Structure 1
Amino acid sequence: MTFHVPLVDITPYVTNGTPAERAEVARQIDDACRTVGFIQITGHGIPAAVIDGLTDAMDRFFALELEQKKSYRTPPRVNRGYSPPKSESLSLSLGVESATRMNDFFEAFNVGAGAADYPHVAELPQPDYADNLWPDVDGFEGQVQAYFAEAGRVARTMTRIFADALGLPADFFERVTDHSLDVMRMNNYALPPGTDVRLDGELMGMGEHTDYGIVTILWADQVRGLQVLGADGSWNDVEPADDALLINLGDVTARWTNERWMSTLHRVKPPVIDGTIKRRRSAAFFHDGNTDAMIRTLPSCVDADHPDLYEPITVGEHISAKLAGSRAGKKNENAARESARVLASQRA
């Protein structure tokens, strides 16, 4: 069976399409979420100039000397700032320890929504809603903030589609995302000059993992590297179509839907050409939900043939355990179902 990531035009939800047009989009999204967990979308409405600004900002920051970039590091619990190559192990976020590599070979810069972005909420836990640490790079903050706002709009559009696809009240996701834990990670996959990839054995740009929250909005170069786990246990290359964004579900959505919709395992293995990695860039916007929102399985997703698979947990508790794995090296003991899928993929 050929692996295929569906391409869906969401224009009817961006430009006030007819009820029939929206219903067709919701049907296509439901089918994709049931069968693949990854979707490509067009009609998202992000201006090309905003995307160009984001990539320009990324290029100028990642071109800085490593020691200068390291000055923008934060402690592991603060999901902001710079992450150097080989400082994270995403497999640990699923409770899986890798025997073949210690860390993932990518560098990243993280920004997110801070407490000041939600003035209607009196107290928000720190460091979940930490202030951003902006580098001293001309125009970087403005360019990144412009894209961050657009990606957030697309994320909220997707959850509106999700509500229709799942037969939920139109404001279901609005009630659990009015102070959403939103983070954007800008990734750069490239080896420093002079590095010999043979020294690293089984080089991995980013280890196999599921995303943590509700939905991820991913912009990526049209460069091979992203691989998605198929239902048959095979890893499959995925590259975005022209003008498309990649959408994938996170663990929170898988829990809410009792795995009717899956948070699909994925990884990044950038191509190695003439002893070095072909550069690949991406920006992942994670729309994770309110930290105090309780994730309880939707009653419509439980029946005699589909017993409830998960105990209730807050978004904050879930995200904290995942981050402790990826950034602080603490194995996540609360991810038995997800880690079993990782181990099965490694045996395939």
Structure 2
Amino acid sequence: MTLTKETRVTLNDGNMMPILGLGTYASPDVPKSLAEEAVKIAIDVGYRHIDCAFITGNEMHIGNGIRSKISDGTVKREDIFYTGKLWCTYFSPEMVRKGLERSLRDVGMDYLDLFLMHWPVSLKPSGASDPSDKDKPFIYDNVDLCATWEALEACKDAGLVRSLGVSNFNRRQLERILNKPGLKYKPVCNQVECHIYLGQSKLQAYCKSKDIILVAYSVLGSHRDKDWVDLSLPVLLEDPVLCKVAAKYNRTPAEVAMRFVLQNEIVVLAKSFSAARLKQNLGVFDFEINPEDMKILKSLDKNLHYGPFKEMKEHPEYPFDDEY
């Protein structure tokens, strides 16, 4: 399987997505300026797929980094594949375009390459009418996902976004969109947590049958943010079997963990603000895991979610109660 940092997959709408992207989430204690510098370094070393989201609060900094590399001639806007996400407080149909325009304004672009429904759950901030207020606690809302999707289709027709997708959707929720009467554009991808402990093979098979690409976040397990990760869970990159396979190939466990997901025909988002790791992660294109070792790594699947987002568990659209 020949893969390079220039390899792109063709989406069901004809657009092309690079198979390796830069994830840009950082915990609140990380200075936003680090994200801007990481984007510049990532573009310099060859990344062309940048993944961000309104809720992370750093789209402005990510946009600054991208625009600086456009203005210095390193890349053109059309070289960059930028993904944004519609946060759950913008799911009311009349708010969808406002949510997209907020991201466009923050990142400083005329269009996004891909815009995702961030979760299949609709929320609204408690005690505030402004959906952009991240500091208010959220309460459940009951917006029809199909109505949100129709509003997104109108945004694509208006030229504000090239492709539309979803994130953290299960099969049942995807089917609801796909079976919507009058569907104009089906999701091009479903972005989900995916790694050697959470292979997502059944969800991937379903998505593949519908020509929907699976995109993986948290491919290295997760950072150890105690606010949303159970610190008693095993550290993926310390798995002894993974480490043994990595030693065999003279690679880091991170490189092997990422390569495993790529060889399963899943797009990978690699999150790092370290210049050394950003360069090292591109080493995934310098080797290939043989079929026997792929089977060994596949056997490590524990169906383990590092990010179960239990605070959403009581919502009727909580996605992880279904098998896949």
* TM-score clears 0.5: no
TM-score if structure 1 supplies the norm length? Answer: 0.24
Higher fraction of strand: 1
TM-score if structure 2 supplies the norm length? Answer: 0.26
Q: Whose relative contact order is higher, 1 or 2, with alpha carbons under 8 Å and at least 6 apart? A: 1
